[in-house]
Structure 1
Amino acid sequence: MTDTTSLSGKHALVTGGGTGIGLAIAQALAARGAQVTITGRRQEVLDQVAGDGVFGVAMDVRDEDAVNDTVAAVTRARGPIQICVPNAGIAEGRAVHKTDLEFWRNMMATNLDGAFLTIKACLPGMRQTDWGRVIAVSSIAGLRGLPGAAAYAASKHGLIGLIRSLSEDYMGQPYTFNALCPGYVDTPIVDRNQEAIAERTGMSSEDARKVMINANRHKRLLDADEVAAAALWLTGPGSQSINGQCIQISGGQTV
């Protein structure tokens, strides 16, 4: 019997794939048989997790030439990218009156421009095949306002707008475009935000962590594998009609 869940023969690209959600998605795709290229800014981090169908290539998603050159190189090596996961991003809160233009532009360049450049570079190869999935990692902050993080929330709202528009552009074709919108996930980003919140507010580190835990409806941090499972679902059989969706992964209704 044919294994309809196998991704053998498929090439996936996961940006920000060296840690956290990106790594969990990359490893899940590789376990299903895909050849997975992961990118990040630091080659040494990628080298530590590469292997078993996962290949690491340093790339800055803010650099258009780097994105185009990397996608071209890995396409030559492993074939057209049929699963594109724009995941690379930064999550940092700052009140608007303390947000300078440099902070704003770096947030947009990484979280929104980086996703745009990655998808744009992957689409020509994907369109030469008969199947493709674009799975962007947004955030619950892409669907609602997030106190003290206007730049971050705006970048994630923009990413959802991009995905929804692409789903309309390619409606009826064998390619789907969806966004995963997780709440707070137990990753190094949460660890960094925990200390930032504590420093900014004067609360204890433990209380700062509780702020993020309590923001999830089920009052616990998500596991990165829970987000990866949703990504796998979008590559599996029966997913072809899931298109232009923002899938909330946050323990309950939030929007």
Structure 2
Amino acid sequence: MTTITDEELYLNAEVLKGKVVLITGASSGVGQATAVSFASYGAKVIIGDVDLAGAKHTVRECLRVGGTIGSDAMVQKCDVTSWEEQVALFEAGYKKYGRIDYVIPNAGIVGDGPLALSKRTKDIPNKPDTRTIDINLVGVIYTIKLGQHYLMKNKPLGPMAIIFVGSMAGNQGFPRAEIYSATKHGLIGLCRSLTEDYRAQGIRTAVVCPWFVDTPLIKTDNRVILAGAPFTPINRVAGAIVCAATDPNWETSGASYNLPDDGPVMRTERHELSVGVYKILTERINTLIKVETTINRYMNIVSDLFMLAAPHLTIVAFVLPILAYWLFTRWMNS
């Protein structure tokens, strides 16, 4: 485990100048603070959110802090549970800026009510509300699927990252917020499972897991329970996301950046099970990924060379029959 000071969070942030970051759920809270942090280092920011008024305020803040150094920002209304709206978001951002370098699937909600029953009842319980899963997990899956596609369209590629916004509730079960906790556990699982595939494509990944941050997501009953407990500073969470995205060290890709209280960020490097069949399975999967990536890389090179040569091949295909006919007639007349 590595402790990261606030100064170290922005150690590599200068690489953001001129880069393009897409963030979902940036109308307030962590998403807004993260968007502004990226913009303050010269990044162009694409914001997708259902709250257009809040997102437009974030755009103004991005321009305020980074407008003089080349930053820009745009917003498009986007419900992350809609695949079509996410496609439209990525298309709009790519059309405006010509590339996307960093993707932050931040949109999320806490959800309503506990899953566990507090007492016996005669009646059949109400159907659980799974909207939290739709937003926190399914929506993120949509974002990262599209994110990888658009990152790989970049020419030249350059530094790229997909950074998940998790929670300490993803490291530790959280009573009375079971579905929320399950979604955040799921994000950690996604990050760990995708690390090697992403690495093979030159894409960093990590998951940032804060404790409670003082944002509109925290409801009154939660505030009562948390009375006297420190909140995690929102700017430190944003800094952790910037750090996770810009760190050039590939050994930290797939790591968890934990903020368990109001103290510094603690990075836990990704680990793999190395007992029993897990070591063999991991080695085989990683080898398969490397072989597949190598084949795809060479196929892309061949495809690019063919595209470059295509105009000349057309000329050759036109000239060769004429040349062959000329040689044939010469031979016949000789």
Q: Which residue in the other structure is 2:33 paired with?
A: 24
Q: Which residue in the other structure is 2:226 paired with?
A: 212
Q: Which residue in the other structure is 1:140 paired with?
A: 168
Instruction: Check if 1:94 corresponds to 2:104.
Output: no
Alignment of 1:105-254 (within 5 A): 106-128=131-153, 129-190=157-218, 193=219, 195=220, 197=221, 209=223, 211-212=225-226, 219-251=229-261
Unpaired runs of 5+ in structure 1?
A: 198-207
2:171 partner letter: L
Instruction: Check if 1:46 corresponds to 2:55.
Output: yes
Q: Shift of the alpha carbon at 1:236?
A: 2.9
1:19 partner letter: S
Separation (CA, whole Å) in 2 of partners of 1:135 and 1:170? 11
Task: Specify whether residues 47 and 101 from structure 1 end up closer, same or farther in structure 2 by C-alpha distance, changes over 3 A only.
Answer: same
Count of residue pairs the alignment pairs up = 233
Work out whether residues 112 and 129 of structure 2, in 8 Å CA contact, stay in contact via their aligned partners in 1: no
Task: Specify whether residues 225 and 100 from structure 1 end up closer, same or farther in structure 2 by C-alpha distance, changes over 3 A only.
Answer: farther
Separation (CA, whole Å) in 1 of partners of 2:227 and 2:141? 31
Q: 1:81 aligns with which of 76, 97, 100?
A: 100
Q: Which residue in the other structure is 1:204 paired with?
A: none
Root-mean-square deviation (Å): 2.2
Work out whether residues 20 and 100 of structure 2, in 8 Å CA contact, stay in contact via their aligned partners in 1: yes
Separation (CA, whole Å) in 1 of partners of 2:77 and 2:208? 24
Q: Which moved more, 1:42-51 or 1:58-67?
A: 42-51
Unpaired runs of 5+ in structure 2?
A: 1-11, 64-71, 118-124, 269-334
Seq. identity, %? 29
Separation (CA, whole Å) in 2 of partners of 1:227 and 1:4? 15
Q: Shift of the alpha carbon at 1:122?
A: 1.5
Task: Specify whether residues 132 and 188 from structure 1 end up closer, same or farther in structure 2 by C-alpha distance, changes over 3 A only.
Answer: same
Task: Specify whether residues 213 and 7 from structure 1 end up closer, same or farther in structure 2 by C-alpha distance, changes over 3 A only.
Answer: farther
Superposition TM-score, scaled by structure 1 size: 0.84
